[in-house]
Structure formats: structure tokens, C-alpha cells
Amino acid sequence: MNMDSDLQIAGDILEVPHLLQPERAHPETVAEFAALARSIADDRSQWAPYVEYDATTRWYHRLRTGPGYEVWLLSWVPGQGSGLHDHGLSSGVLTVLEGELTERTDRGVRRLDSGAQRVFAPGYVHEVVNDSLEPAVSLHVYYPGLTEMPMHESLQAQCAPAAPGLIDA
């Protein structure tokens, strides 16, 4: 009876370098972009020195670029929000670095605590707001780089019932 395991039959994969995928210099998949965001989030020295807070407008800073992608750092004082928007043709990863943010979509409201991560595809419509009493910081990775951020009608207006007597055409 043959007692060899599949590994013994196939051989050690590490001994067959031509079968291994080469290490990529830049992320290419959703998982790799999420991992990039997580690695930056985990190393405060890469982002904390750049954070600023502005009570008059949302503050943002482009932290890094790579082939076809951008990494942005945003701060949110209490009450600041993005407005309802999408990211055009860009996909993205949003990671909360400090504080908490609220994400509103047509599917509901989600609280994003420090460490939370959201991945979204082109055309994803949402609003991000700091509803807390403390400032927040978030990291955003966009692929391809962000070229537009179309604004949308408020969620309340989209979901509001028609006024009595009006007929939709």
C-alpha cells in the first residue's frame, strides 16, 4: 500500500520556483488594495504626521500614488460630511484610522469604527459623515485614481413619497 501524501507525490512547491507567481511591486486586485490600506493604517508613522483638522472645510491630503492608483488621507471634525456622491469610474477602499464615521447609502446606515474597512465598486453611491463628538481620520485608496466625484440628490429626497395629487410621468 502506498502511504505517500499528496504533498510527497507532488513535491515541495517551494522547490519549483518557476511555478510561483512573481511578487508584484504594486497592488492589482481588490484584496491587494485592501491590504495596502491596512498596511498603511497599521503604521501610524506613514500617515499621522500629515493629519490636519479644518473646521471650515473637509481636509484631505494625497498621501501616495502608484501606477493607476492614489491614496488619500482625510480628516473629519464633528459634523463634517462628504455629501451624497459616487467616485465615477474608480473603485475604492475606505479605512477608518481614528474615531468613527457614519456611512449612509440607499440600503441603510452603517457605523464605521476605527479599523473598519469598506470596499466599493465604480458607481457606488454613499455619504460619509462624522456624527460623533470627536474628530476622525480616514484613508481612501482609489483605482484608477480619482478623477471625478459626482454629487447626488440627498437620500431623503430619493426616498421621499410623491406629494398627494402628483402623478409620476
Which residues fall in the annotated binding site for Fe cation? 85, 87, 126
Residue type, 141: V
Residue type, 56: T
Closest CA to 94 of 34, 54, 26: 34
Give buried/exposed letters for 63-72 (b at 16+ CB in 10 A, else e): beeeeebbbb
Other Cβ atoms within 10 Å of 139 Cβ, number: 23
User: Can you tell me the distance from the alpha carbon of 84 to that of 143, in angstroms, rounded to the nearest whole number?
Assistant: 20
Whole-number Å distance between alpha carbons of 29 and 168: 43
Alpha helices in 43-131 (DSSP H): none
Please state the residue numbers annotated as binding site: 85, 87, 126
